[in-house]
Structure 1
């Protein structure tokens, strides 16, 4: 029976919601994952990326696979372009955990890996231009989390004074985004074991 389940990895484009459809009239003009591919009945996203974030997303028809990946706290790596030239002190704060708002309460993030990238990562162009260097410097960082609160990376970089301008999830567990382009969908035999 497990073999009848379908699993996909996708590159969620900027401005897409990590869901399939909505009856909410406010969301009629939004973009949904179902526009990318003819997914099977019962498909669900494992974890989410907010509308302004992009990158690697797992989809499955198997609730147990979804629970396994979420409950095991599989590491997720993000590349974030932040406003300003991030400092060593800010990176240290990110690594140690920072206080963010979550569900109307204060929450201290768990320790994580965070470092500045020496070069701009090779990522696809985004559909909407990000401000340029005339408005001040930006820097790219890698943040690897074992948790995933709503808009967590964005809240963390803001908390240390370097708001996120672009956010791309590049890895979930051992699965890398590699050369995928926004909107790419790849069916796979399994996700993670």
Structure 2
């Protein structure tokens, strides 16, 4: 049976089973948990692309460029506070064959328009930041609690992830961001079905 046709609870278990095949990702998760960042998730490409790799028979970590580690701390919106977390993370993730990009999602509205050309309303949580990704398929976050339990946030479910369907999410990111990302992904995973921007 295709993983995308499993009941939701079984899809979450299937996701965990797939992700644990990527030793780099599980090492990043374990080290991220040690940072104890508020509301953190490992999210986007490293999660979804691990699934795409496993589903298409590739090595689980193949071609994954970076690991996005989001957290939410609205108590200090200064760049200096975020940079301190980034520097601590750099030490924590040293020696891993991965680039870990750490971002405080409480600060995104301060720089998003300058980078992407459209304003971003302030996020109120890490989850609301994940909700705004250019593709609904990538709206997935995972984290591991100190007791080892996994938390999965997937507001659009996991069927598209398992079925290699990339669906646009025109709530924030502009069309050119979606099309640039999907063009790059298609070259690496030719079996993706990329749905057009509405």
TM class by smaller structure: 0.3 to 0.5
Structure number with greater CO (CA < 8 Å, separation at least 6) is 1
TM-score normalised according to structure 2 size: 0.33
**Higher strand proportion (structure 1 or 2):** 1
> Which of these two proteins has the greater Rg computed from alpha carbons?
1
